[in-house]
Structure formats: C-alpha cells, structure tokens
C-alpha cells in the first residue's frame, strides 16, 4: 500500500548540553509548554541554508463532493457527479500550548468523485478542534492536560492511536469511521510520563515515566485490548495483549520496570513475529471474526497448527536518555511468551483468561501478581546524545534497534547492544518513522532531521545504510515528527 506523510512542525530552540540534576532533568522532560518543547527537542536549523520551494499541484474545485457541499483537490479529476470509490483518512495533531488540551483532528486524505485531496485541512464532518474523542473521555471523567506523545502500531492496520498527556491521562483516538469505545487509563500522580510507544501489532503500550517519589526512571507496560464485535477485521471476543487492528476497548496498567536512568526521553519496542494472514483450522485465510478461541481446535492452531508463529513469543524495547547518554535494552520475552502460554497452554490456563477485569488478579495479571510476565532490563550502553530510537519488528538475525544521534548519525544495534552499522544523516534526527513489517535483511524508514529541515528516506541492508531520497522545502519550517499513513491503495 502506498503511503502519505503527516508532519508536525514547531519553532524550537536547542536543549541542554550536560547531564542535569534530578530537579533540572525532571523539569526539562515534564515541561510541555511551548518553551519546554523548545528546549527538549534540541538544535533546530537556525542559520542553515534556506531549502528550495518545490512544486505543489494547485487546488481545483470539485463541486459534487461532500454531499454537493464541494471540496478542493490537487490530484486526479476532472470531477464526476458519481462519487465512485471513496475514502478518507483522519489523524491527530499534537501541539504545545499555554492552555487547553493541545490536540486537534485533521483530514489528511479525501478521495471521491475521481478527485484526490492530500492536504491537511479541518474534517468536513466529525469534528476538528478539539479532537472529538475528547467528548467520550470526558464522559468517563477524564480530562486531558498537555500532550506528551502519540503512538500507533504501524506494523499493521491501526484504527486508533494511544495518546499520553502530562497529567498522566492515557487515552485513544481514531481515524475517520474507525470503531472503538475510547478507553482511558490514569497513571498515578507520582508517575510523570515522558514518551510513549505502541508495539507494531498493537499488543501493548510502553510509556516512559519519571517516578517523583522514588526519583528514578521507569517503563510502564500497559495491555491493549481490541474488541469490536461489529467489525469483521477485529476480534469479536475479548483477548487483551493480542495483535489487532486497534479498535481499542480497554487499557490496563500491568506494572513498572525500574530503569538504570533517571531521565528516559524516548522509547520503542516490538515483538519478534511479523504476523501475516490468520488461518482457519483448515489452513485457509481467515479474519479475526472467524476465530473463536473458546473452541479448543482454534486455540490449538496457534501452538502447532495453521497459526503457529502468528503470536510473538519474544520481543525487545529500547529506552534512551538524551541527558544521560544512555540506551537501555529490555527483554519483552517474559511477557510475550507467558501471554501465549496462558492463552494456549492448557484448558486450565485458557480459563484464567476469561476472568477479565481491572483487578490485579484478573486477566491480564499485573506483574506484582504474576512476576513471570515482567520484562527485564538486559543491557545498558553509552550512546553519544541519543535523540530517537526505532526497534524493528523482527526476530533472529534481522532483529535490530536503530538509534539517532544528535550530531547526525543513525546507528544500527543488535539487540544485545552491539553496534552493527552506521549511517550519516541530517543533524538532530529527532524522529524515525516506519510502516509495515518487512521480512529479510532490508529495512527502510524515514528520518526527520530537525537540524537540517529535512526528511530522508533511509534503507539498511545487512547493516549497510543508504539514503535513497530526501525532501527539503521552504514551507517545512521546523520538522520534528512524521507518520506514514494508509492511502486506500492509491498511487500518487
């Protein structure tokens, strides 16, 4: 599937140079004001050469679109009165603000009447400012307070994102007509979030926090459940910690992992399985609605049958601390493998998963109740001013973590912490964005270089990195984030 890129840009200033005291380090990561983000994101492109102005197709009118309300488009045409094949994609925009939630929804693709609009604009239906899902959060008694980060499981189709706020709220918001019940979760007041990631197949959310009582960094692990009984492409029963298309219905805090750093600034994590088609017990392609794990033969297919290997039994997370020049490798195998064993190991273990709920002894169990689930820190390495991290969803010899260095390099690491390769990129590569779960030795992603006002398409093949293309444009004033989104299979 071809993809489009969503950008979030801010005007920001350089960050601190030396490891801070606890008070200073906490203040720098906890400050989600405009000034706080100025400092946190590090050096911008001030003083660099102005980028070129690239060609952009002019906007043209399509009067028949949007129930004859009209739209403008850039690609395709001429407009037809018949809507034909149609699709739209919406996304969230996070921004620093001195007041309010700092979260809106925008339209990033509109395809109808043989016309294609790919410019960001307010949605023509559903709500714009603030993000309409916030109304559902408020019904649950939750209030947003300054965005910290947003994450989607971009190895698969993902209908909803997980969003974390400075006040500890964890919530979800969708795209267009995506289904979900808008679950919310609240971190304890002493756990101050600094970054968030979702595993590529939407099994769990990983949130770095600073514990202000214990004065140390931790990694919070939250189970994600995607129960959508009216949607063919997601589960019709409740299976928390299962791969899904992110029609989120529940979030539960499983516990916290102590980190050997005080100021975690970014996190990424992934399971080892690349997924693929689900299969019926007879080996035919199947959708989640077609499988009912209450049936023993359906469960058995995940152990030694047609779905063997579809569930991850291992995985890795990497947390970086820019202020402390460290990268921490965390083994997720205890969680992934115990989840699979509990669902499929025996009729008795399966039955334990049917007592679902928020209590520690209800499924999924918390780490305090079931220590076998708890991931472990395996390695901590010294890294020169790390600013971004991306863990590839792959097992075996192709498993890698990529860490961006402020000076302008991407370093490839094996999951034991050994360096495997380097590639020079733009300065201050504050974000790396990937989509899908490719097999083999080749792996590509987009690097967002704040220091050079550039997006670079990067590919690593057997740990040899190359830049395949670059985007620089004077309208891209200060890029700090990118996300690769679905475009309904169109080629543009």
Q: In this structure, are residues 226 and 202 in contact, taking their beta carbons and an 8 Å threshold? A: yes
Sheet holding 87-94, edge to edge: 75-76, 115-117, 103-112, 87-94
For the chain, 492 residues long, give each residue's pLDDT as a single digit of tens: 334 444 444 434 344 456 789 999 999 999 988 888 989 999 999 988 889 999 999 999 999 999 999 999 999 999 999 988 888 888 999 998 877 789 999 999 899 999 999 889 999 888 888 889 989 999 999 988 889 999 999 888 888 999 999 999 999 998 877 777 899 999 999 999 999 999 999 999 999 999 999 999 999 999 999 999 888 889 999 999 999 999 999 999 999 999 999 999 999 999 999 888 999 998 999 999 999 999 999 999 999 899 999 999 999 999 999 999 999 999 999 999 999 999 999 999 999 999 999 999 999 999 999 999 999 999 999 999 999 999 998 888 889 999 999 999 999 999 999 999 999 999 999 999 998 887 788 999 999 999 999 999 999 998 999 999 999 999 999 999 998 876 665 543
- DSSP per position, 78-136: S--SS--S-EEEEEEEE---SSS--EEEEEEEEEETTEEE-S-B--SSS--SS-THHHH
Q: What predicted TM-score, i.e. pTM, was given to this entire model? A: 0.93
Neighbours of 346 (CB within 10 A): 11
Contact between 220 and 253 (Cβ < 8 Å): yes
Give Cα 75 distance to the centre of its chain: 29
- Per-domain residue ranges of the chain: 63-438
Q: How far is CA 438 from CA 158, 272, 281, in A?
A: 17, 12, 26
**Cα 286 from Cα 486, distance rounded (Å):** 22
Instruction: Look up tokens 């700092």; give the residue.
Output: 102
**What φ, ψ does residue 137 adopt, rounded to 5°?**
-60, -40
CATH architecture type of domain 63-438: 7 Propeller (2.130)
DSSP secondary structure string, 443-479?
EEEEEEETTTTEEEEEEEETTEEEEEEEE--TT--SE
C-beta separation of 111 from 488 below 8 A:
yes
Sign of CA dihedral 426, 429, 435, 437: positive
H or E stretch at 30: helix 22-30
d(CA 321, CA 263): 6
Distance (Å, whole) CA 83 – CA 117: 14
The gap between the terminal CA atoms of the chain, to the nearest Å, is: 11
Q: What are phi and psi of 94, to 5 degrees?
A: -100, 140
């Amino acid at each position: 599937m071809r993809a489009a890129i969503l950008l979030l840009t801010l005007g920001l200033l350089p960050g601190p140079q030396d490891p801070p005291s606890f008070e200073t380090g906490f203040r720098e990561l906890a400050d989600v004001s405009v000034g706080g983000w100025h400092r946190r994101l590090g050096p911008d492109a001030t003083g660099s050469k102005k980028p070129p102005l690239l060609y952009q197709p002019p906007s043209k009118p399509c009067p028949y679109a949007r129930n004859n309300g009209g739209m403008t488009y850039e690609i395709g045409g001429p407009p037809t009165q018949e809507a034909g094949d149609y699709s739209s994609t919406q996304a969230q925009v996070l921004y620093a603000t001195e007041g309010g939630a700092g979260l809106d929804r925008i339209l990033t693709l509109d395809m109808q009447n043989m016309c294609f609009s790919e410019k960001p604009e307010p949605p023509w239906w559903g709500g714009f400012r603030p993000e309409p899902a916030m109304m559902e959060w408020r019904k649950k008694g939750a209030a947003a307070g300054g965005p910290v980060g947003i994450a989607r499981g971009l190895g698969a189709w993902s209908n909803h994102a997980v969003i974390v706020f400075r006040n500890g709220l964890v919530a979800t918001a969708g795209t267009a007509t995506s289904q979900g019940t808008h679950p919310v979760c609240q971190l304890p007041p002493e756990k101050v979030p600094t970054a968030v990631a979702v595993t590529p197949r939407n099994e769990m959310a990983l949130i770095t926090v600073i514990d202000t009582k214990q004065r140390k960094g931790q990694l919070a692990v939250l189970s994600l459940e995607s129960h959508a009984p009216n949607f063919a492409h997601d589960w019709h029963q409740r299976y928390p910690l299962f791969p899904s298309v992110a029609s989120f219905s529940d979030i539960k805090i499983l516990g916290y992992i102590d980190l050997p750093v005080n100021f975690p600034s970014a996190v990424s994590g992934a399971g080892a399985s690349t997924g693929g088609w689900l299969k019926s017990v007879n080996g035919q392609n199947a959708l989640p609605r077609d499988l009912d794990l209450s049936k023993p033969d359906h469960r058995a297919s995940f152990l030694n049958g047609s779905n063997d290997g579809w569930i991850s039994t291992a995985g890795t997370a990497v947390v970086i601390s820019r202020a402390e020049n460290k990268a921490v490798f965390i083994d997720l195998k205890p969680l992934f493998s115990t989840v699979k064993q509990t669902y499929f190991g025996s009729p008795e273990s399966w039955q334990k998963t049917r007592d679902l709920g928020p209590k520690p002894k209800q499924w999924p169990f918390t780490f305090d109740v079931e220590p076998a689930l708890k991931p472990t820190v395996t390695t901590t390495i010294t890294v020169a001013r790390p600013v971004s991290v991306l863990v590839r969803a792959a097992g075996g010899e192709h498993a890698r973590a990529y860490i961006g260095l402020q000076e302008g390099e991407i370093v490839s690491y094996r999951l034991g912490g050994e360096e495997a390769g380097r590639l020079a990129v733009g300065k201050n590569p504050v974000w790396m964005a990937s989509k899908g779960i490719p097999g083999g030795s080749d792996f590509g992603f987009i690097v967002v270089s704040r220091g050079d006002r550039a997006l670079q398409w990067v590919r690593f093949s057997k740990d040899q990195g190359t830049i395949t293309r670059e985007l620089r444009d004077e309208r891209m004033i200060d890029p700090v984030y990118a996300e690769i989104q679905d475009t309904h299979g169109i080629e543009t």
